[in-house]
Structure 1
Amino acid sequence: MPLHRPVTAAPSRGPLDPGRRLRFRATAYTLLVLLTGTNLPTPLYRGYQAQFGFSPLVVTLVFAVYVAVLIPALLVAGPLADAVGHRRVLLPAVAVAALGALVFALARDTAWLFAARALQGLALGAALGPLTAALTELEPRGDQRRAALVSTVASVGGLGLGPVLAGLLAQYAPAPRVLPFAVEIALLVPAAAAIRALPAGRSGVRWRPRRPGVPRELRAVFATSGTTGFLAFAVTGLFLALVPAYAATLSGSGNLVLGGAAVALLLCCSALAQLAGHGRPSGTLERAGLPLLAAGLALLALAGGVSSLPLLLAATVVAGTGHGLAYLGGLSAVNQAAPAGRRADVLSTFYVIIYLGVGLPVIGVGFLASVTGLLLAVQSFACVVAVLCLVVLAALGRTRRRASGPVPGGADGGSGRPHLTRRAGGR
């Protein structure tokens, strides 16, 4: 990518290609379904605990196995998709996702849960980078901001839809730990058909697995956007793994829909915040999202202290809004700055940072919960991450002041974004 090129690509104004538009929508559907499937187990863990007899720590370890497999898959699949084409990576990923759902449906003990989560991690890790890159390449008018918005909304939509769908089916339908995964397998069939419509391959790019890394000119973007994304998804990991049990403790109710609804509310607010923030500069979104994340976490800790379910819901709304703004800002910055020939690779590296945020902190919370109890562990986590959000916010402010000088050639179309000549980091 030439250094004088603006970060934001101008949308094409030519006639729309109906086939390209259909492939774009089908790719977004595939991303939505894969993320829905990986989050179906969230409200079911308490039932598995009762059936198989394990502790909250085991829940976090099951969750962590998913992340431990997902990250190497991201590192291999991103550059592989750049070399051989998205379709050749995505079709096996969908097949592995269906196998993971089948293992969950047939689970007979805790080992089955670990195996199923590992398969889900492998599938999503292989698919995330290529799907996000495909959305950028297939956006009908070449609008990279819209591609990033669709990617983030589909992602958080799947994260939120999975717990609600599984909670409803498990609470009110027969076969509570089988039917949700049968539905997932059915939804993956049209996803596989959609992937078959993608281009077959790409020539001239040599594949080799890479360690996490980004081009030198993008490192400033990753220093800020990656840290922001890590913190945002540390909050998501907490909600996915432990907040359903936290909500049940505060409410005294064992209804499975309640736990799934708490997660869904976080992610619904995230999606709405992203829609409201679409088109704004990425740095503005990050600086708005971080203090909201901190405020939501403070309310989450307070909710446990006073045993208030309404306060927990208020915390969820505020944290979800902050999550959406921070996530959209980070992904937009990385998506627009990534070189076309390494887009899936760069985005896969960004998702490594995201999923480290999902997996690592919640393991610590699980260990702490085994010593202090769930309420105190969640409160401690919330306070620490809230402080870190404010630290990163201060760092973003300093970055903005250092990069606030005049830009040769002017800003990018009035969007408020700097050119890459400022290392794409001032945003």
Structure 2
Amino acid sequence: MSKTVGGLRFWATGYTLLVLLTGTNLPTPLYHGYQQKFGFSPLTVTLIFAVYVAVLIPSLLIAGPLSDAVGRRRVLLPAVALAMLGALAFALAQNVVWLFAARIVQGAALGAASGPLTAALTELEPHGDRRRASLVSTVASVGGLGTGPVLAGLLAQYFPAPRVTPFVLEIVLLIPAAVTIARLPATTTTTRWRPRRPQIPAAMRDIFATSGTAGFLAFAVVGLSLTLIPTYVATLSGSRNLLLGGAAVASVLACSAVAQVAGYGRSARALQLSGLPLVAAGLVLLAVAGSVSSLPLLLVATVTAGVGHGLVFLGGLTAVNHAAPAGRHAEVASTFLVVLYLGTGVPAVGVGFLATASGLFTAVQVFAIAVAVLCLIVLAALIRRRATAAEIESGAA
């Protein structure tokens, strides 16, 4: 296979990851309209998001090791078909049950695809550059997370059939993704698949624990953005423009993508040490923005948190990709993604419960301060571990 063909497959695989994540985040700016049409609470919004994560996680754990054993194509083609089915269910939704069903299907699709696509990018990178493969994977992921809300907000605000058009477009965009998967090279392996609990190779457990904890906290910010920030923005601005809410979410993820490109080439530890305090600062600004009812401050908060998220995400995935042993790339990547998606889903449900009980502003402020404190604790642990390692090295010398 020539490097040109290999390069095309590499970028086409990145496109597939981008489109899948775009589709799963199209509903974000539409939830407020669904609430009005179908009559449900902010808690229901977070539960719709949570059921997606609840299905996504076991799908990740099954599909990652399975693709290591049977090959990427056999897992990814059904995943793309499920993504199309989920988009169709949203386009045809008649009540809240349809929304739950659509999110369940989308969760199964993305769970089945995320680990294998991340591993495929590492394997298809023409020069074997794992750092570059990690960058493309993280940028495609956050690019899809950010493109979905903006695209849906734009189409829903200015085009006919606001709750249908975004999902029809997603189905169209998935067609070349299916062609890409069908043309992936066949893989041969001696690995046999069997159901088992998630396992991390012993040699990389410390790296995984550090990167996973930091990633969990960074993705808690994404979970809040995807579920409640559009409503938060609408309340602060007094505007019902769907594009505004989608753009606020996208600003978090666009800044994340830019930060990843800017941070490319730096060590995984340096990225995490830089990113965690920015996530904490963005969250504190978010809490203050609600207290003073300031939309500009809210936008500053999203930019700051987005930059921090990008650095933490890239640092974590880079560390995990470098440490993963041959033959277990998809399994390790899938387990890491499980931690990130838990960060996306679990805190968001808690915020939904709190918002129902005490109001949206109070819920967001409590969440923001709690996660900011945890970010600083993890940052302190990283600094302490680094200092301890340096002492051990100097003592050994």
- TM value normalised by structure 2: 0.98
Structure 1 residue 256, shift from structure 2 partner: 0.3
In the TM superposition, what are the counterparts of 1:118-129 in structure 2 within 5 Å? Answer: 118-129=104-115
Aligned positions of 1:172-321 closer than 5 A: 172-321=158-307
The whole-number CA distance in structure 1 between the counterparts of 2:286 and 2:196 is 39
Q: Is the 8 A contact 2:68 2:189 kept in 1?
A: no
Question: Structure 1 pair 197/364, CA: closer, same or farther in 2 (3 Å)?
Answer: same
Alignment of 1:95 with 2:75, yes or no, is no
Paired residues of 1:49 and 1:55 also in contact (CA < 8 A): yes
Amino acid at match of 2:304: V
Which residue type is aligned with residue 43 of structure 2?
L
- State whether structure 2 residue 346 is matched by structure 1 residue 360: yes
1:107 aligns with 2:93: yes
Q: Distance in 1 between matches of 2:340 and 2:166?
A: 26
Q: In structure 1, what is the Cα distance between the partners aligned to 2:189 and 2:262? A: 39
Distance 1:171 1:391 in 2: 42
Q: Which of the numbers 347, 356, 363 marks the counterpart of 1:370? A: 356
1:322 aligned partner: 308
Distance of 1:96 and 1:204 partners within structure 2: 28
How many matched pairs? 394
Q: CA offsets, 1:64-86, max 9 Å, x none?
A: 00000000000000100000110
SS in 1 for 2:187: coil
Question: 1:405 Cα deviation (Å)?
Answer: 5.5
The separation in 1 between residues aligned to 2:235 and 2:321, in whole angstroms, is 40
The structural deviation recorded for 1:16 is 6.3
1:403 deviates by: 1.9
Counterpart check, 1:157 vs 2:143: yes
Query: 1:91–1:196: 8 Å Cα contact kept in structure 2?
Result: yes
1:3 aligned residue: none
Q: CA deviation at 1:219?
A: 0.5
Q: Which runs of 5+ in 1 are unaligned?
A: 1-14, 409-427
Task: Provide the C-alpha distance between the structure 2 equivalents of 1:213 and 1:190, rounded to a whole number of angstroms.
Answer: 34
Aligned to 1:400: 386
RMSD: 1.2
Q: CA deviation at 1:17?
A: 1.0
Q: 1:255-290 deviations in whole A, cap 9, x for unaligned?
A: 100110001000000000000100100000000000
**Partners of 1:109 and 1:378 in 2: how far apart?**
28
Greater share of helix residues, 1 or 2?
A: 2
The offset of 1:393, in angstroms, is 0.2
**How many angstroms does 1:407 deviate by?**
7.0
- The CA deviation at 1:376 is 0.6
Contact (CA 8 Å) 1:88, 1:200: kept in 2 or not?
no
1:404 Cα deviation from its structure 2 partner: 2.2
**Secondary structure at 1:107's aligned position in 2?**
coil
**Post-superposition offset of 1:406:** 8.1
Report the equivalent of 2:319: 333
For residue 163 of structure 1, what is the amino acid of its counterpart? Answer: P
Contact in 2 for aligned 1:226/1:354 (Cα 8 Å): yes
Contact 1:286 1:329 (8 Å CA) reproduced: yes
Deviations 1:134-181 (A, max 9, x none): 000000111000000000000000000000000000000000000000
The Cα shift of 1:197 comes to 1.1
Structure-to-structure mapping, 1:11-50, within 5 angstroms: 17-50=3-36
Deviation at 1:200, TM superposition (A): 2.5
CA distance in 2, matches of 1:268, 1:133: 24
Residues 63, 117 of structure 1: 8 Å contact kept: yes
Q: Distance in 2 between matches of 1:259 and 1:359?
A: 20
* Residue 387 (1) aligns with residue 387 (2): no
The answer to whether the Cα contact below 8 Å between 1:16 and 1:140 also exists between their aligned partners in 2 is no
For residue 18 of structure 1, report the CA deviation from its aligned partner: 1.0
Q: Tell me the distance in 2 between the aligned counterparts of 1:174 and 1:340.
A: 49
Q: Alpha-carbon deviation of 1:340?
A: 1.6
4+ residue runs of structure 1 moved beyond 3 angstroms? 405-408
- Give the AA of the match of 1:382: A
SS of 1:346's partner is helix
What is the rounded CA distance, in whole Å, between the counterparts of 2:189 and 2:280 in structure 1?
Answer: 46
Q: Aligned with 2:189: secondary structure?
A: coil
Aligned mates of 2:127, 2:392 — CA distance in 1: 30
- Contact kept in structure 2, 1:41 and 1:166, CA below 8 Å: yes
Going from structure 1 to structure 2, the CA distance change for 1:17 and 1:405 (only over 3 Å counts) comes to farther
Q: Do the aligned residues in 1 keep the contact of 2:212 with 2:339 (CA within 8 Å)?
A: yes
Q: Indicate the SS of the match to 1:175.
A: coil
Shift of 1:24: 0.2
SS at match of 2:161: coil
1:52 equivalent in structure 2 = 38
Shift of 1:192: 0.3
Residue 199 of structure 1, CA deviation: 1.9
CA distance in 2, matches of 1:331, 1:367: 31
Contact 2:56 2:111 in 1 (8 A): yes
Between the aligned partners of 2:327 and 2:390, the Cα distance in structure 1 is: 30
* Aligned-pair CA distance for 1:379: 0.7
Alpha-carbon deviations, 1:280-323, whole Å to 9, x = none? 00000000000000000000000000000000000011000000
